[in-house]
Structure 1
Amino acid sequence: MSDGGVSSLSSLPGATASASAVGLYARAAPGFEARVAASVDQLRAAAERFGAGLIQSSSLGAEDMVITDLIARHGLAIDIATLDTDALHAETLALLPQIEARYGLQVQVFRPVAEQVVHFVKSHGERAMYESLALRKACCGVRKLEPLGRMLAGRTAWITGLRREQSQNRAEVPAEELDGQGRIKLNVLADWSWADIWHYIDTHQVPYNTLHDQFMPSIGCAPCTRAISVGEDFRSGRWWWESEDAKECGLHQARSNEELKSGATA
């Protein structure tokens, strides 16, 4: 384990360029079934507690695909939504029809306001995210935070795939917290390991982003995601040109409703 409890490729047996993510990462660990049961219990209790006010905010990453499978497998009445930033990989978007075909569930898709994207690109260029931290966060504001505000409008609680093992910044993620807008944020996989995620995917044949097979454990917008190398932490492929303490887009930082609506990133 490297700093923050995030595994690196060098710690995994059999890591080769041709290996699948399942083959690389899936490992049965003590307490796995108990962790699954606890997550199901949390999801079921949340569905009863919040009703129509509850939504899963899915990045379509491995963790969120596990949560979607748990929702479908246990017949839980929980809406599912995702953000299409207009800068995602085709492999990410390919999961949407797979979810519908596999589970019979319709994922709500929230996109940025087209005019705001055009204005941002016209003003700052298509490579603005590489120019400064402020511009990168402004890009996230337009493409992620403003659509997230619409996704969460009228909701009282939302479900995420945050895990403590993902990074130093997330090492203290609780199972339940306030999000800064009066909503409850439920991190139902907080204590799961990366091996747990892939053991579950392998056990239940959960669809997943094929970019995970190309050494991309953490996948966001295409310009801001790269494959990681042997020895690198799993979130090293996100905003790799920035310092570790800056590597958040703002989706999981407490903000006011006004900031979400405007896409503010300060």
Structure 2
Amino acid sequence: EKKEELLSIGEGRIKVTREVSLPSVSEQLGKGEETVESEIASTLELPLLTRKLTTRRLSLTPLLTFQECPRRFFWEHRLGSDPHLASIHTSENQVGGNYSVILGEVFHRVISGSSHGKEFEETDWVGWFQRFSHQEQVEALAHLKVMRENYLRSSFFPQAEVRVENEYPFLLDLKGVVIKGIIDRILFYPDGSFVVVDFKTNRQVPKPGKILDRYFFQVYLYSLALREIHGCLPTEAWIYFVRPDIKVPCSLNERNLVATEKKILEDVEYITEHDLPADHPPGENCEFCPFTFWCKESFSSS
């Protein structure tokens, strides 16, 4: 690359053309590797040189992944492995899992627009499903319409006098542990009360157990963050399963909130203190995990 500049010599000025060397491909790749390394470390926002910090930070998504499957957490959020590349050996069931993820993403985008989902143009969203077969595209669009219709009839579709916060970012500071995340929706009513809701696009409500417990944990954590921000807990907290059109209340009693705080601190402490793959066992629900093939390989080679 050439660069021109003027130099003054005595009373005269001359134009000088300099050649500026560009970084080599290897140098550019090296910088890319440094960026990836930094992104991996930023999962806990720890420096690359390991040392004990007084404040530990973690995004909510990696925390929930750790609760679901410590091994997936290690591969995806500690090593920085790309789930899309890992899923090269996906089965039909796992493709179905991607279908559900994309359907959920599209629904959240629909209801987060300026009309909160009231205005809907089919052509604006059909492109999101192009990676699927024609039949799957038709089914996905039909499911999206059903979820939107259920939502519009629900109490979580805001009336004119209700203020709405969609995709609300938060920081929860808990005894030196900082959790950052995004809340699906908060509804602020004229009487000063406010309601938090987390939308789920599952086909059906999970049976009582670990999956449903994680959903409750998520809403309890939201409520703790909102108490820190607004000085009081939400008046109500809900999980809304949009496809089956079922609302599940979340009890914000002291027992649940204290248990949530304890769980956060325990999980972050474990994540901070354990760096080896062997410290991260597999979870129980592997059906839609993109790393399943890796898991099987690790078992067969051990």
Taking structure 2 as the reference length, the TM-score comes to: 0.22
**TM-score normalized with structure 1 length:** 0.24
Higher relative contact order (CA 8 A, sep 6+): 1
